[in-house]
Amino acid sequence: MYITSVQLHNIISRIRGESRTLGLDIGHRLLKLAVVEHKKGSRSTLIALEQESIPEGVIVDNEVKNPAVFIDSVQRMLMRALPGGADGDFVISVNWTSGILCDRILVKPQPVKAAKIPENELILQAAMGRSPFDDSGNVLDYAVMERREEGIEAMIVAAKKDVLASWVNLFQALSIDLAAIDVDVFALSNIYSLSVEQQQHDDYGAGYGGDDDDPALLLNLGYSQSYLAFLRKGTFSTARSITGCSVQSFQEQLAGSLEISTEQAGDLLTGTNNEEIDMEDPKVKSAMEFVFDEISMKIDTAIRYFSSSDNYKRPSKMVVVGGADIKGLTQFLSDRFSMDILLLDPFKTVEVDPVRFRGTDLNAVSGIYPVAMGLALRRF
């Protein structure tokens, strides 16, 4: 078998404990890419960030409707990020709102006299015995959360086979074999957990062994889809889609009530200076208050849903990801829910290549790349 110089380099790097992960966050209007290099015994290094706008209609309801345009967009972005070749482990995420099923189950220990069944089979058998995880059209995966005397607590995740197959086939057209397909909310909880660990390290030193036992909410207001996740001990616990609560719907509401274009409504949301709109106009203020009230009502409904679960403890903080650039939103949420509102810093846990990012203000783009960074920080 013929081995190229690139393949040989990759083999040698693996032996040395070195690897590279490309994390691609696929949004309805924007592709976001983060590339991170990993070395054994040292902090990972961010070597590239790129984004590429895609025309409206290319991705609709988490489905690629125009593969040719999508493939061209990914190729352009990869060429800018890694001109020498996009080698490494490629990871993408699917949106939580695309029909992902997730639940925690407790798998009881096997009877002493019973024939031993491998742990992975035992967990998957238990999952497939529960609706809706028993659907043969699903692909199941799991993660062990805790082992205790009464059994194994596992997080079960199910996704539609045809959805996953469509993504695999799409990237094979780019000559890319995906190392993994993740869920965006898991990538966000991953980057949050790593950020908490890094903060504890900075505050208390390397020997600190505590964990973040305080529950947190994670709000992701996307362009067309949104959800609220509940994190416990720094890891994902559950999530709930928030219907009718997206940046796109807010733009349409403002455009209709104020008789302005959706582009102007977008500028109004982010507080971009627009001489045609008087921000102090009572009608404008009323329209913005309506949007904020709509957001708070949807969040309140989701919190009530979480509060019905076992071992619920009211969170004292909310991490805002998507929608963080909506002017006044974080202060409004803090006042409305009496919580600390945090903005996620996805670059907190990595070194940054000083040459490639010379003169770049990463704080200005920190709200764009949390999912991509959560993916890129995975090691294989």
- Domain positions in the chain are 5-98+162-205+345-376, 101-160, 221-343
Mean pLDDT within 365-375: 93
Q: Are strands 30-39 and 18-26 parallel, antiparallel or unpaired?
A: antiparallel
Q: Whole-number mean pLDDT of the chain? A: 85
Q: Tell me: pLDDT of 41 over 50.
A: yes
pLDDT band at 325 (very low <50, low <70, confident <90, very high): confident
pTM: 0.85
Q: CB 154: neighbour CB atoms within 10 A? A: 24
The pLDDT, as a whole number, for residue 357 is: 92
Q: Would the pLDDT of 376 be above 70?
A: yes
What average pLDDT does range 215-232 have in this prediction? 89
Phi, psi at residue 83, to the nearest 5°?
-60, -25
d(CA 155, CA 237): 8
pLDDT number for residue 3: 45
Which residues, including other chains, have CB under 8 Å from residue 335's CB and lie 6 or more apart?
none
pLDDT of residue 5: 46
Separation between Cα atoms, residue 224 and residue 59, nearest integer Å: 10
Q: Report the run of H or E that residue 206 belongs to, with start and end.
A: none
Q: Cβ distance 23 to 374 under 8 Å? A: yes
Quickly name the fold that domain 101-160 has: Dna Ligase; domain 1 (3.30.1490)
The per-residue pLDDT for range 78-127, each reduced to its tens digit, is: 999 999 888 899 999 988 888 888 888 889 887 766 667 888 888 988 88
Helix (H) or strand (E) holding 268: helix 262-270
Q: What is the CATH number of domain 221-343?
A: 3.30.420.40
Examine the pLDDT at 8 and tell me if it is beyond 80: no
The residues that bridge with 49 in the sheet, in sequence order, are 34
**The CATH number of domain 5-98+162-205+345-376, selected from 3.20.20.220, 3.30.420.40, 3.40.109.10, 2.40.30.10:** 3.30.420.40
The Cα 367–Cα 345 span in angstroms is: 8
pLDDT at 53 over 90: yes
321: Cβ contacts below 8 Å, ≥ 6 apart: 188, 218, 219, 220, 221, 344, 367, 370, 371
Q: Do residues 65 and 89 make contact, with C-beta atoms less than 8 angstroms apart?
A: no
* Range name among 61-70, 127-136, 164-173 with the lowest pLDDT average: 127-136
Report the pLDDT averaged over residues 281-300. 90
- Please enumerate in sequence order all residues whose Cβ is within 8 A of that of 230, keeping only pairs 6 or more positions apart, or say none: 215, 216, 217, 218, 237, 238, 239, 306, 309, 315
> Cα(157)–Cα(143) distance, rounded to whole angstroms?
9
Q: Do domains 5-98+162-205+345-376 and 221-343 have the same CATH topology?
A: yes
Residue 133: the pLDDT is 80
Name the residue type at position 334.
Answer: S
